[in-house]
Amino acid sequence: MSKILVIAQHDGKALSSATARAVACARAIGGDIAVAVFADNAEAPAAAAAKLDGVSQVLKIERAENAAPLAAVLAPQIAALGADFTHVIMASTTFGKDVLPRAAALDRAMKALGLNGDPYLPVDEPPADYGKLRRYRHPRFQFQPLPGYEKST
């Protein structure tokens, strides 16, 4: 069974809808889903992540240096935390595109980013040698409203 780690994107107070879509991506893969919230105070985003469908565990990584989401600070933590998971997923947002390549380099999983020419392989058909760290195009996955969030039309 897959163990999937979703890296939460948030502003320190509210969880980004990209995280909800990342969880939808994880559900498509199937398995146990954990969401990691890196912050100096992760209470609010972690509480929102716990309410997302399919999430079985929320990991709060609270450190003073996590107050500002810097790739150089977060990537080593993500690489270390991801060692126990079969998949590590982030949205292909500016945040994900900044952090995940560094984490993958530390994990020696550069194939995971599709540096062979296709960074966005379908989730349901990855090749056998495809690494565990993945970005995904979040519009591909159905929107899941966050608690207290109204989708504008």
| 52 domain-assigned | yes
Percent share of the chain, pLDDT over 90: 43
Q: Is residue 147 part of a domain?
A: no
Domain assignment present for 11:
yes
First-to-last C-alpha distance (Å) of the chain: 38
pLDDT, average across residues 66-77: 92
Q: Is 113 contained in some domain?
A: yes
- Residue 148 within a domain: no
Range of the domain at 97: 3-139
Q: Does 29 reside within a domain?
A: yes
Per residue in 26-53, pLDDT (tens digit) is 998 899 999 999 999 999 999 999 999 9
Query: Could you give the number of structural domains in the chain?
Result: 1
Q: Is residue 49 part of a domain?
A: yes
Residue 57 maps to which CATH number? 3.40.50.620
Which residue in this structure is represented by tokens 């989730």? 123
Q: Global pTM?
A: 0.74
Phi-psi region of 149 (alpha: psi -120 to 50; beta: other; left: phi over 0): beta
Residue 145 lies in a domain: no
Partner residues linked to 61 by β-bridges: 38
